[in-house]
Amino acid sequence: MSGRTVWHRLRPVLRGYAFTVAGIAIGVAGLSAPGAMSERIVRFIEGGDRFVLGQISVAGRGLGMGAGFAGGGLLPAASVRAIAEVPGVQGVQAQVMLPLEPRTSHFLAVTQDLLLGLDLSVPTPNRHYPTLPVQAGRFLREGDRGVAVVGAALAASRGVGVGDRLTLEGRSYTVVGVLERMLTAPDRFVIVPIADAREQWVAQDPMLRTLLASGAAALTAADLNTGAAVGWAEGEDPDAVARRIAERVPGVNVQIPSELSRVLRSSTAFFSALLAGIAALALVIGGLSVANTIAAAVFERVRDFGVKRVLGATDAQLGREVLGESLAVTLSGGGVGLALAALITRAIDTWVTPSERLFLFSPRLVGGALLFSVLLGAAAALYATWRLVRLTPAEAIRRGA
């Protein structure tokens, strides 16, 4: 049977159920929009979790402008070398991570615009993110100076693309790459060579400038690191390696990967629980809307059923007819509802937070919403049909008159 033939058969059915389709669409839209927000939060948490579990983050001890998982005070080159000599360590990449708005609080650094300086002479040791996906342009190369790769959200918020100039605290960079939207922390990163980040740090931090000018500490450019990303050898337990670093290298703060993962998840637990409650409420309300709409549409046909039974239709025939129509109607209503929810949430993302995405319509969410509406619609239709076939044909015709 061709698609055109199927459409010609379904068109009168859908036309007669126009209000039913609209009711289902509203229910599915109300169900899927909060679900899309939950999916977005889940993706953010999963991305952050994969990041912290892919490396051991070591920061210089003490207060400083350093931010994020690999930032803090000063981590001198001697400490970086000492970390590399700890048994079980495989790969140490010195980093400088600074808030782009140093005059504001960076307590929740994962939500901030951050400058990340990387030592490009060392491969990134993060097992889950050995490279960051680039949507346009290229990533940084060893020997680069004065260039930057920016996260997708930051590029959108600042209106920059490949080839544009990006000015940060008086320093200008040429954008050579824009990352793919990852829906996690790197979306807000500006990634530069570590030499540029060190100069940016000195320019932004009066305390560091005073320390360097006084000569009180014999510091070279290689000593200006806020932290390091550390990898581990195959077969090693990353938590055990992290504790070994903390025991053998003085003057550093070591993040235990599993503990940092728990902290990250616990810090977002309230928002996750809140969104889960909203999604559950939307599930109940949307489900009741779909079931009530389908059942009401079937009950409205009580006279039609009575006439068909007088003409010899069996209960099985009526059941197949209603089930087929309910599947067509719920699929149509579900598709319209998802499209409606996508339009509304896209408008919110565009007008309220143009550089961010608050909603994520993942394949799991779309498939789940359609499956839920179809199953619930079929169950409601069969229940209503079962109630109707218990009536005698005369009673059905009389009630529908």
Cα dihedral: 105, 63, 190, 127 (round 10) = -120
How many C-beta neighbours within 10 Å does residue 49 have? Answer: 19
Q: Token digits for 356? A: 């961010």
Output the pLDDT for position 279: 67
The DSSP secondary structure of 319-345, one letter per residue, reads HHHHHHHHHHHHHHHHHHHHHHHHHHH
Enumerate residues 6+ apart whose C-beta is below 8 A from 191: 116, 117, 118, 132, 140, 148, 149, 150
pLDDT of residue 65 exceeding 50 = no
Q: pLDDT tens, 95-110?
A: 999 888 755 444 434 4
pTM of the model: 0.73
Residue percentage of the chain with pLDDT more than 70: 86
The DSSP secondary structure of 380-395, one letter per residue, reads HHHHHHHHHHTS-HHH
Q: Could you give the residue ranges of the DSSP H alpha helices within 142-237?
A: 152-158, 194-204, 206-214
pLDDT of residue 10 exceeding 70 = no
Output the pLDDT for position 318: 79
3-state SS, one letter per residue, for 232-263: ECCCCCHHHHHHHHHHHCCCEEEECHHHHHHH
User: Distance between CA 250 and CA 260 in Å, rounded?
Assistant: 20
The mean predicted confidence, pLDDT, of the chain is 82
Q: pLDDT tens, 136-145?
A: 999 999 999 9
Q: pLDDT tens, 119-138?
A: 999 999 999 999 999 999 99
**HSE (CB half, 13 Å, CA atoms) of 148?**
28
Amino acid 259 reads E
Output the pLDDT for position 23: 78
Q: pLDDT tens, 318-376?
A: 778 878 878 888 888 888 989 999 999 988 888 877 767 788 898 988 888 888 888 88
pLDDT of residue 71 exceeding 80 = no
Range with the largest mean pLDDT of 9-23, 94-108, 293-307 = 293-307
Q: Compute φ and ψ for 136, nearest 5 degrees.
A: -140, 145
Per-domain residue ranges of the chain = 3-45+269-400, 62-250
The DSSP secondary structure of 257-290, one letter per residue, reads HHHHHHHHHHHTHHHHHHHHHHHHHHHHHHHHHH
Q: pLDDT tens, 175-218?
A: 999 999 988 888 999 999 999 999 998 888 887 787 777 776 77
Output the pLDDT for position 216: 65
pLDDT of residue 11 exceeding 70 = no
Output the pLDDT for position 232: 96
User: Distance between CA 23 and CA 286 in Å, rounded?
Assistant: 10
Q: Compute φ and ψ for 134, nearest 5 degrees.
A: -105, 125
